[in-house]
Amino acid sequence: MALLEEIEPLKQSGLAELKSAPDLAALEHTKGAYLGPNGKFTALMKQLGALSKEERPAAGKLINLAKVELENALGEKRSELELKAALPKEPTDFTLPGRRRPLGKLHPLTQVTEDIVRSFRKIGFVVADGPEIEDEYHCFDALNTPADHPARDSQDTFYTNTPTKQLLRTHTSSVQIRVLEKFKPPVRIVVPGRVYRRDNADATHNPTFHQIEGLYVDKNVTVGDLKGTVEFVFKELMGDDVKVRFRPHYFSYTEPSFEIDFTSPLVKKMGKDWLEIAGCGMVHPQIFENVGYDPEVWTGWAFGFGIERIAMIRYNIGDIRLFYENDVRFLRQF
């Protein structure tokens, strides 16, 4: 009978000790003292043999129930102490400056694109876009590029082999047509985007590259507006000491047409006088006809810059392929 009476008080003192354990080490020690091979409950079990056959099962059951209760209390206390051990000893001061991991950077082409767009936004332009998979109408026909023009040759342009003849746009000029078809003048847009040509990759060519198209349509627009705008944007982009020059050229969608050359101390340092940077001109009246604008009323200009080319000059990069290799040693520099 004495054994039976010992169980409950022993359990109670065990529970009390477990609950008051100050840390994990003390807890493990208490566990050993009660449930371990030399613990108090193990000792009780050993005494079971001294009981009569009738008393033994009830006593054994009581001991086992007590042990289960102790195990449960132990588990609970252990989680509590582990959580406490994981918490910082001192309260966290959230006003301290953080230790920030570098989160990566924008690609240099993205940076240049964003800078150009930012400059145009200052003077009232908005960003437009259009599909990279185009049809011949928007890429060529509507821009007055005749069917026998070499740009339309499959040697120069990627065509899809779908039943409807489609292609990868060779320039962002296709978006001029898409926007003019959809909106009423006046129009002031820039269109950054990817274009495709069947070039083999070398230091200055790649089968895909990026352009930014500009289009301004309003009444009484002049070449002076075009030149002033181009100058403004290049000064924003490359500094006040840049100079811009227009050279007569031919594009089927502008008349007159120009190539834009650009120079700066940086260009001089590269051993060049002028660098060709873009094409532009006054929107051809036929283009207005093609999209249903009255060419007697509306005037405008357009341009197309190569973004890689601008980035190469700005950062003095000698090989266009570096932009696409995603080598972090290159990308980290911008």
* Alpha helix (H) residue ranges in 20-94: 24-35, 40-47, 55-86
Give the shortest CB-194-to-ligand DAH separation in angstroms. 12
281 binds ligand DAH (CB under 6 A): yes
Question: What is the maximal distance between C-alpha atoms in the chain?
Answer: 120
Position among 125, 251, 262, 323 found at the interface with ligand DAH (CB under 6 A): 251
Position among 206, 254, 263, 299 found at the interface with ligand DAH (CB under 6 A): 254
Phi and psi at residue 260, to the nearest 5° = -100, 125
Binding segment (CB under 6 A) for ligand DAH, from list 3-11, 67-75, 128-136, 246-254: 246-254
For the segment 63-82, give every residue that binds ligand DAH (CB under 6 A).
none
> What are 313's two structure tokens?
């000059």
193 binds ligand DAH (CB under 6 A): no
On whether the CB atoms of residues 253 and 302 are closer than 8 A, the answer is yes
280 binds ligand DAH (CB under 6 A): yes
Binding segment (CB under 6 A) for ligand DAH, from list 68-76, 266-274, 279-287, 322-330: 279-287
Position among 128, 303, 307, 313 found at the interface with ligand DAH (CB under 6 A): 303
> What are 29's two structure tokens?
């020690």
Does residue 116 sit in helix, strand or coil? helix
The CA-CA-CA angle for residues 235, 256, 192, to 5°, reads 45
Binding segment (CB under 6 A) for ligand DAH, from list 186-194, 218-226, 277-285, 326-334: 277-285
15 binds ligand DAH (CB under 6 A): no
On whether the CB atoms of residues 166 and 160 are closer than 8 A, the answer is yes
Position among 11, 171, 178, 314 found at the interface with ligand DAH (CB under 6 A): 171
Dihedral sign for Cα atoms in the order 217, 221, 226, 232: negative
Q: Which long-range contacts (CB under 8 A, 24 or more apart) does 224-230 make?
A: 225/301, 226/280, 226/281, 226/282, 226/301, 226/303, 229/123, 229/301, 230/260, 230/278, 230/280, 230/303
Give the shortest CB-234-to-ligand DAH separation in angstroms. 16
Our CB check for ligand DAH shows the closer of 30 and 229 to be: 229
Binding segment (CB under 6 A) for ligand DAH, from list 55-63, 74-82, 227-235, 273-281: 273-281
302 binds ligand DAH (CB under 6 A): yes
Question: Of the candidates 162, 173, 138, which has an alpha carbon nearest to the alpha carbon of residue 306?
Answer: 173
Contacting residues toward ligand DAH, per CB under 6 A: 171, 173, 213, 251, 253-254, 279-281, 302-304
